[in-house]
Amino acid sequence: MNRASSEVNGFSELIQRFERNISIQGKSPRTFDNYSRHVAAIALHFKTLPTELDPEQVKNYLFQLQQRSKTPSQTYFKHTVYGLRFLLKAEGLPYDFLHLPAIPKVKKLPTILSRQEVWRMLQTAQLLKHKLLIGLIYGCGLSLHPHLHCIVPGGGTNKQGKWKDKVRTDKYLFPVKALGKVFRAKFAASLKACGIKDADLMDRLFAKNWVVYAKRPFGGPKQVIEYLGSTPTKSPSATTESKK
């Protein structure tokens, strides 16, 4: 951009307005850096401001970018178009001012599967690893995402049945790494209770570290109620019931 500011008359002022408008729209600095590089490139190519080009010049430039692209995604081409769109908007000009092409959005997969379709996929898979793989892939879309939320109290009962607060208020009640080991052991015990006693499976379960994601302690009862109130309304768990 420094080169464009020094070689293209008026580019420095143009890019300042561009940055201001992108910031006002709530876009990140990375968005400005990305789009401004493409705006600077076309300005250096023609030695003039992009807003002073005619549509035919822009078409020829975009055609050259397409021909240079070695990948089907044509990322550089797309970001050039997006950058020019933002620039025109910042300057109060319509998109058709430069006859910019539309970038089609290709949807290769359905946006959602029904619960019945998911279960049908799981039942079709013969091996357990394939069932787990299907569950993980579908869970990435947050459409069907089984997981467990636990609120750990800041203390516990002693042998006499009386409540005892934890000693330090700024630490977890239990070490996070210990939680992973305990949960792994409890999970394995539940499998055995269900009749799954495969020794090889158990060896593989205990050969890996289990990770528990633990947030910092809540600020107080108000934060606990807010958390419980917001969690069931999120789409992944909207169909589940909250239990005390």
Cα separation of 76 and 66, whole Å?
9
Write out the two tokens for 59.
């078409």
Q: How many other C-beta atoms can be found within 10 angstroms of the C-beta atom of residue 12?
A: 13
Q: Is the four-CA dihedral 187, 149, 143, 116 of positive or negative sign?
A: positive
> Whose CA is closest to 43, among 28, 30, 58?
58
What pLDDT, on the 0 to 100 scale, is given for residue 108? 58
Name the phi and psi angles at 205, rounded to 5: -65, -45
What pLDDT, on the 0 to 100 scale, is given for residue 172? 62
CB 148 within 8 A of CB 236: no
Cα separation of 50 and 93, whole Å?
12
Write out the two tokens for 142.
């947050």
What pLDDT, on the 0 to 100 scale, is given for residue 125? 80
SS3 call for 76? helix
Cα separation of 112 and 125, whole Å?
20
CA 195 and chain centroid, separation: 38
> Distance from first CA to last CA of the chain, Å, rounded?
58
> Whose CA is closest to 45, among 32, 60, 34?
60
Q: How many helices (DSSP H) and strands (DSSP E) are in the chain?
A: 10, 2
Do the strands 155-157 and 163-165 form a parallel or antiparallel pair, or are they unpaired? antiparallel
What pLDDT, on the 0 to 100 scale, is given for residue 49? 93
Q: What is the pTM of this model?
A: 0.44
Q: Read off the amino acid at residue 138.
A: Y
Cα separation of 131 and 141, whole Å?
16
Buried b (16+ CB within 10 A) or exposed e, 88-110: bebeeeeeebbebeeeeeeeeee
What pLDDT, on the 0 to 100 scale, is given for residue 242? 44
> Whose CA is closest to 44, among 18, 9, 14, 16?
9
Cα separation of 161 and 244, whole Å?
21
Q: What is the mean pLDDT of each run of 10 residues along the chain (244 residues)?
A: 88 91 85 89 93 92 83 77 89 86 69 70 80 63 58 79 74 74 88 86 81 71 73 46 43
| Burial zone of 22 (CB within 10 Å; 0-12 exposed, 13-18 middle, 19+ buried) | buried
